[in-house]
Amino acid sequence: MNLPCLLKKGVNDLAFEALTQKLEAVFKRLRGKGKLSEADVKQAMREIRLALLEADVNYKVVKDFVQKVTERAVGQEVMESLTPAQQVIKIVHDELVRLMGPKDTKLNFSQSKVSVFMMVGLQGSGKTTTCGKLGLYLSKMGKRPLLVAADIYRPAAIKQLQVVGEKVGLPVFTMGEQDPVAISKAALEHAFRHGNDVVIIDTAGRLHIDDELMEELERIKEAVTPNEILLVVDSMTGQDAVNVAETFHNRLHLTGLILTKLDGDTRGGAALSIKAVTGCPIKFVGVGEKLTDLEPFYPDRMASRILGMGDVLSLIEKATAAIDQEKARQLEEKIRKEEFTLEDFLEQIKQVRKMGSLDQIMSMIPGFSPQKLQGIEFNEKELVHIEAIINSMTKEERRNPSIINGSRRRRIAMGSGTSVQDVNRLLKQFEQTKKLMKQLSDLEKGRKKGRFKLPFF
Amino acid sequence: MGFFERLKQSLVKTRNQLAEKIEGIIKFSAKIDEDTLEELEEVLISADIGVSASDKLLSQLREKVRAEKIRSPEELKEALKEEIIKVFPAEKLEIVPPTIILVVGVNGVGKTTTIGKLAYRFKTQGKKVILSAADTFRAAAAEQLSIWGQRAGVDVVKHQEGSDPAAVLFDAIQAGKARRADIIICDTAGRLHTKKNLMEELKKLYRVSEKEYPEAKIVSLLVLDATTGQNAIAQAKIFKEAVNISGIVLTKLDGTAKGGVAVAIASELNLPVFFIGVGEGMDDLEEFDPKAFADAIL
């Protein structure tokens, strides 16, 4: 397994180590002690409260959450365990996952008739785009969706859905600016006659306090009895998310939630808030501008993101995208057999660089904080030097660095325009990396046998 | 450390603690105590002002309570309102023709609607306005802007979907010069501030404005959805770096969201709020009034 993949593994396994710096600081304090006092937990919870509030989780939801977690943490579970800090973090993360989970992307289809999905939400939450994305998703499932333009208020909303429909190759039902209830009914009829088995109704964005428009939704619901009523929520929403979700839920009995614009850098605390007040599963997330950018909602990822680990996950994705799987497998083999060479090292560096600037990558990986990588801290320029140095070696030298003696070192330094010290440093770094990777791969093996222990506590 | 020294130290500590407590009691009298402040914190955070900006406000408030000997909760509230008002720079948007207004923001905040309202506003003030449909990405964005243009009675320069936004703006600038427009308002595609290439595209629009119309004043308006949480701070920061934001338009304030993150932004980046959006009608754009805003939060 190569470096980025190991990072991926490591990051997943060590998820609880990867909190924000602030949380890390608190737990460092906690880590020093054998057992947790109530005061310790309270101290930790203060930071967790802040982290959640900064992530836009609703104030009241945070209050409840912190109280619940405190109760659990101050209890025996933690006090009597050997590694209290581990448990506190785990409890927080687990509780977040539990509250936002389970993963549930099941959509409810009608057995006999045309299924009706109704998309609702505030203005600008991304309903129309999501309609297109969901339509595409369903058609990939083998369904034959019909998109229905029921937003008669916003200028050009119908046109937008038509364009979106065209892009995903799905039919769009329009009836101009008539009553949305009549449009929805007629669309159902149309679908039935044209062999569409799902209709996705794009309703107009509206404020939850706009009584007239909320009533309109109730009338549509009554007229077409939807199988799914999905609330589309902008993941950047702040404290008000609870009011919005609660009102929509009270009036319409939502069946699910879709979180949009998660490709930004929002921590997305709204996810926890809306789940907490509606109890409806968050089914999908929108993660990009393209119409294929709709993914299932993973509670564990979201929990990590809310706690400030979003970057790690995006790094994982970047790594996965940038890495050639076959090469990765070969490398894994080499590490196992301890045949990892400087040539591979060069390859690794190139692959890591594909993911972005090194500073950025390093700062993204809590488990691999600079302290952990003592001596293997490099900056961008150094990478260029490293490449030059390795390029100045003979193949034999790259494969077997132990043959590099004094005169070879001098030659390599000359050839790469660096100094002998630089060459020495690289060789040392290489040895350290090799060791580190070996450790990580052992760690992984050990874990499979069930004796894995987090090394960071 | 000797026994007496330790004793002395612990006594000093106790004395300090006592002094702090007494000070606390005097500070908040019978009616204003930490509970009151915690309630206020809840109000502030619930309005999306955020933890750090709220802390800042409350610590200023504490000082004020001490200095002005505030006793009643009512006075306290008024004092906090004053603090909030103080955060906003008192700038107004001044239009010196010719002006190019770049309207930017993330997806779905209400840029196009805001432009429709702005166009109507300037038009009723007797200004000649041209709209530039440089959102060539989102489906039917140009149509949406055209409808607003018709409603407000102003011209719209547009191209095909998917064309170069900078080319649209270039044409709008030429049209603006030819028709002697006072104001060119440029719609841009919604983009998340984290998309580097899209932010570069925005910078290009700014450069085109500078280069093609050097006499014009360039005003970049950031449109913010009042329902947005703390992410708005990151948005403001990055958009400011890219196109030198002059001020903010806070939209969707007709809902239950308070838009408190504008306080955090003003406090951190010193950006004024110029306008607020309070509905879908053409005249649902109001000049920002910090006092009314503070009243709505508390």
Is the same domain home to A76 and A208? no
| Per-residue pLDDT, A361 | 55
Give a yes or no: residue A109 inside a domain.
Answer: no
Q: Looking at the complex, report in whole angstroms how far the Cα of residue B96 sits from the nearest Cα belonging to chain A.
A: 30
Give a yes or no: residue A274 inside a domain.
Answer: yes
Is the same domain home to A142 and A38? no
Q: Looking at the complex, report in whole angstroms how far the Cα of residue A195 sits from the nearest Cα belonging to chain B.
A: 27
Q: Does A50 touch chain B (CB under 8 A)?
A: yes
Calculate mean pLDDT across residues A398-404. Answer: 86
Q: Looking at the complex, report in whole angstroms how far the Cα of residue A31 sits from the nearest Cα belonging to chain B.
A: 26
Q: Tell me the residue range of the domain where A205 lies.
A: 115-297
Q: What are phi and psi of A283, to 5 degrees?
A: -90, -45
Is the same domain home to B27 and B103? no
Cross-chain CB nearest to A238 (options B147, B193, B229) = B229
Q: Does B289 touch chain A (CB under 8 A)?
A: no
Is the same domain home to B119 and B41? no
**Pairwise CB contact (< 8 Å): B231 & A269:** no
Q: Which two tokens stand for residue A393?
A: 């070696």
Task: State the Cα–Cα distance between residues A265 and A268, nearest whole angstrom.
Answer: 8
The model's confidence at residue B65, banded by pLDDT at 50, 70 and 90, is: confident
Is the same domain home to B139 and B286? yes
Is the same domain home to A210 and A261? yes
> Which H or E run includes A118?
strand A115-120
Q: Which of B54, B146, B150, B230 to mutate to test the interface with A (most CBs of A within 10 A)?
A: B230
The model's confidence at residue A336, banded by pLDDT at 50, 70 and 90, is: low
Q: Looking at the complex, report in whole angstroms how far the Cα of residue A111 sits from the nearest Cα belonging to chain B.
A: 34
Residue A370 pLDDT exceeds 60: no
> Which H or E run includes A194?
helix A180-194
Give a yes or no: residue B176 inside a domain.
Answer: yes
Q: What are phi and psi of B224, to 5 degrees?
A: -120, 135
Give a yes or no: residue B179 inside a domain.
Answer: yes
Is the same domain home to B20 and B118? no
Is the same domain home to B185 and B255? yes
Those residues whose C-beta lies under 8 Å from the C-beta of residue A132, and which sit 6 or more positions away, are A147, A161, A164, A165, A167, A168, A170, A291
| Per-residue pLDDT, A340 | 72
**Pairwise CB contact (< 8 Å): A266 & B229:** yes
Within 10 angstroms of residue B211's Cβ, the number of other Cβ atoms is 10
Distance of CA B153 to the CA centre of its chain: 28
- Domain CATH for B178: 3.40.50.300
Quote ipTM for the complex. 0.85
Mark which of A77, A100, A123 sits at the end of a domain.
Answer: A100
Q: Tell me the residue range of the domain where B10 lies.
A: 3-87
| Per-residue pLDDT, A7 | 41
Is the same domain home to B108 and B248? yes
Nearest to A126 by CA among B52, B108, B70: B108
Q: Which residue has the higher pLDDT, A428 or A184?
A: A184
Q: Does B237 touch chain A (CB under 8 A)?
A: no
Task: State the Cα–Cα distance between residues B4 and B2, nearest whole angstrom.
Answer: 6
Chain segment A13-52, per-residue pLDDT in tens: 332 333 445 555 665 665 555 556 777 788 788 888 888 9
**Is the preceding omega at residue B97 within 30 degrees of 0, hence cis?**
no
Indicate the residue type of B218.
I
Q: Does B93 touch chain A (CB under 8 A)?
A: no
Within 10 angstroms of residue B129's Cβ, the number of other Cβ atoms is 26
Nearest to A224 by CA among A185, A259, A197: A185
| Per-residue pLDDT, A20 | 43
Task: Decide if A232 contacts A280 (C-beta within 8 A).
Answer: no
Give a yes or no: residue A86 inside a domain.
Answer: yes
The C-alpha angle with vertex A56 and arms to A53 and A59, in degrees rounded to 5, equals 55
Give a yes or no: residue A12 inside a domain.
Answer: no
Give a yes or no: residue A306 inside a domain.
Answer: no
| Per-residue pLDDT, A450 | 39
Q: Which residues in chain B have Cβ-Cβ distances shorter than 8 Å to A317?
A: none
**Alpha carbon distances (Å) from A159 to B134, B156, B175:** 18, 18, 27
Q: Does A55 touch chain B (CB under 8 A)?
A: yes
Give a yes or no: residue B92 inside a domain.
Answer: no
**Alpha carbon distances (Å) from B222 to A105, A194, B53, B232, B262:** 36, 45, 20, 10, 11
Residue A305 pLDDT exceeds 60: yes
Winning range, highest mean pLDDT, from A19-33, A162-176, A377-391, A393-407: A162-176
| Per-residue pLDDT, A232 | 98
Evaluate the CA torsion angle B30, B35, B39, B45 in order and state its sign: positive
**Pairwise CB contact (< 8 Å): A124 & B138:** no
- Residues 168 through 187 of chain B touching chain A, CB cutoff 8 Å: none
| Per-residue pLDDT, A325 | 60
Give a yes or no: residue B93 inside a domain.
Answer: no
Taking CA atoms, what residue in A is nearest to B55? A50
Is the same domain home to A63 and A166? no
Q: Which residues in chain A have Cβ-Cβ distances shorter than 8 Å to B158?
A: none
Least confident of A125-139, B65-79, B234-248: B65-79
**Pairwise CB contact (< 8 Å): B227 & A207:** no
| Per-residue pLDDT, A304 | 79
Task: Decide if A261 contacts A229 (C-beta within 8 A).
Answer: no
Is the same domain home to A192 and A241? yes
Q: Which two tokens stand for residue B92?
A: 């107004």
Task: State the Cα–Cα distance between residues A38 and A144, nearest whole angstrom.
Answer: 57
Overall domain count for chain A: 3
Mark which of B66, B87, B108 sits at the end of a domain.
Answer: B87
Mark which of A69, A100, A131 sits at the end of a domain.
Answer: A100
Residue B4 pLDDT exceeds 60: no
- Residues 19 through 38 of chain B touching chain A, CB cutoff 8 Å: none
Q: Which residues in chain B have Cβ-Cβ distances shorter than 8 Å to A122?
A: 227, 252, 255
**Pairwise CB contact (< 8 Å): B252 & A207:** yes
The model's confidence at residue A306, banded by pLDDT at 50, 70 and 90, is: confident
- Which phi-psi region, left, alpha or beta, contains residue A172 (left: φ > 0; alpha: ψ -120 to 50)? beta
Q: Which residue has the higher pLDDT, A384 or A406?
A: A406
**Pairwise CB contact (< 8 Å): B45 & A261:** no
Give a yes or no: residue A256 inside a domain.
Answer: yes
Task: Decide if A147 contacts A165 (C-beta within 8 A).
Answer: yes
| Per-residue pLDDT, A34 | 54
Average pLDDT, chain A: 80
Q: Which residue has the higher pLDDT, A446 or B288?
A: B288
- Domain CATH for A406: 1.10.260.30
Q: Which residues pair with B224 in a beta bridge?
A: B250
Taking CA atoms, what residue in A is nearest to B145? A155
- Domain CATH for B35: 1.20.120.140
Is the same domain home to A254 and A151? yes
Task: Decide if B178 contacts B170 (C-beta within 8 A).
Answer: no
Q: Which two tokens stand for residue B187?
A: 């719609």
Is the same domain home to A286 and A422? no
Within 10 angstroms of residue A144's Cβ, the number of other Cβ atoms is 16
Cross-chain CB nearest to A240 (options B51, B234, B256) = B256
SS3 labels along chain B: CCHHHHHHHHHHHHHHHHHHHHHHHHHHCCCCCHHHHHHHHHHHHHCCCCHHHHHHHHHHHHHHHHHHCCCCHHHHHHHHHHHHHHHCCCCCCCCCCCEEEEEECCCCCCHHHHHHHHHHHHHHCCCCEEEEEECCCCCCHHHHHHHHHHHHCCEEECCCCCCCHHHHHHHHHHHHHHCCCCEEEEEECCCCCCCHHHHHHHHHHHHHHHHHCCCCEEEEEEEEECCECCHHHHHHHHHHHHHCEEEEEEECCCCCCCCCHHHHHHHHHCCCEEEEECCCCCCCEEECCHHHHHHHHC
Calculate mean pLDDT across residues B47-72. Answer: 90
Is the same domain home to A227 and A266? yes
Q: Which residues in chain B have Cβ-Cβ distances shorter than 8 Å to A164?
A: 139
Give the end-to-end CA distance of chain A in Å, rounded to a whole number.
25
Q: Looking at the complex, report in whole angstroms how far the Cα of residue A207 sits from the nearest Cα belonging to chain B.
A: 6
- Domain CATH for A84: 1.20.120.140
Task: Decide if A390 contacts A343 (C-beta within 8 A).
Answer: yes
Indicate the residue type of B245.
I
Residue A377 pLDDT exceeds 80: no
Evaluate the CA torsion angle B196, A379, A3, A350 in order and state its sign: positive
> Which H or E run includes A25?
helix A21-31
Look at residue A119 and give its three-state secondary structure: strand
Helices B73-87 and B290-297: crossing angle in degrees, nearest 10, is 130
Give a yes or no: residue A309 inside a domain.
Answer: no
Report which DSSP code applies to A295.
Answer: E
Q: Does A23 touch chain B (CB under 8 A)?
A: no
Task: Decide if A121 contacts A202 (C-beta within 8 A).
Answer: no
**Pairwise CB contact (< 8 Å): B229 & A59:** no
Q: Looking at the complex, report in whole angstroms how far the Cα of residue A324 sits from the nearest Cα belonging to chain B.
A: 25
pLDDT above 90: percentage of residues in chain A: 48
**Alpha carbon distances (Å) from A294 to A80, A100, A135, A141, B295:** 44, 18, 10, 13, 40
- Please provide the size of chain A in residues: 457
Q: In what order do the strands lie in the sheet with B183-188?
A: B155-157, B129-134, B183-188, B99-104, B217-225, B245-251, B273-277, B285-287
Q: For A309-332, give one letter per residue: b (16+ CB within 10 A) or e.
A: bbbbbbbbebbeeebeeeebeebb
Is the same domain home to B66 and B137? no
Least confident of A117-121, B29-33, B174-178: B29-33
Taking CA atoms, what residue in B is nearest to A265? B194
Q: Which segments of B are annotated as binding site for GTP?
A: 105-112, 187-191, 251-254
Chain segment B150-209, per-residue pLDDT in tens: 999 999 999 998 999 999 999 999 999 999 999 999 999 999 998 888 999 999 999 999
Least confident of A40-44, A141-145, A441-445, B94-98: A441-445
Is the same domain home to B120 and B225? yes
Task: State the Cα–Cα distance between residues A418 and A25, nearest whole angstrom.
Answer: 39
| Per-residue pLDDT, A321 | 55
Q: Which two tokens stand for residue A347?
A: 């390859």
Is the same domain home to A190 and A225? yes
- Residues 269 through 328 of chain A touching chain B, CB cutoff 8 Å: 269-270, 289
Task: Decide if B271 contacts B265 (C-beta within 8 A).
Answer: yes
Q: Which two tokens stand for residue B51?
A: 């933890």
Give a yes or no: residue B290 inside a domain.
Answer: yes
Task: Decide if B150 contacts B120 (C-beta within 8 A).
Answer: no
Report which DSSP code applies to A402.
Answer: G
Q: Which segments of A are annotated as binding site for GTP?
A: 121-128, 202-206, 260-263
Q: In what order do the strands lie in the sheet with A198-203?
A: A172-173, A145-150, A198-203, A115-120, A228-234, A256-260, A282-286, A294-296
Chain segment A258-297, per-residue pLDDT in tens: 999 998 888 899 999 999 999 999 999 999 889 999 999 9
Contacts of A39-43 spanning 24+ positions with Cβ under 8 A: A40/A84, A41/A70, A41/A73, A41/A74, A41/A78, A41/A88, A42/A70
- Domain CATH for A208: 3.40.50.300
pLDDT above 70: percentage of residues in chain B: 89
Is the same domain home to B175 and B66? no
Chain segment A41-95, per-residue pLDDT in tens: 887 888 888 889 989 999 999 999 999 888 887 765 544 444 555 567 677 888 8
Overall domain count for chain B: 2
> Which H or E run includes A173?
strand A172-173
Is the same domain home to B107 and B232? yes
Cross-chain CB nearest to A265 (options B194, B257, B261) = B194
Look at residue A323 and give its three-state secondary structure: coil
Is the same domain home to A128 and A255? yes
Cross-chain CB nearest to A261 (options B140, B192, B261) = B192
Indicate the residue type of A40.
D
Mark which of B87, B117, B148 sits at the end of a domain.
Answer: B87
Is the same domain home to A121 and A96? no
Give a yes or no: residue A165 inside a domain.
Answer: yes
Mark which of A100, A123, A143 sits at the end of a domain.
Answer: A100
Q: Which segments of B are annotated as binding site?
A: 105-112, 187-191, 251-254
Task: State the Cα–Cα distance between residues A386 and B47, nearest whole angstrom.
Answer: 51
Cross-chain CB nearest to B227 (options A128, A159, A238) = A238
Is the same domain home to B153 and B80? no
| Per-residue pLDDT, A74 | 77
| Per-residue pLDDT, A360 | 52
| Per-residue pLDDT, B72 | 81
* Bridging pattern class, strands A282-286 and A294-296: antiparallel
Residue A333 pLDDT exceeds 60: yes
Give the end-to-end CA distance of chain B in Å, rounded to a whole number.
53
**Is the preceding omega at residue B98 within 30 degrees of 0, hence cis?**
yes
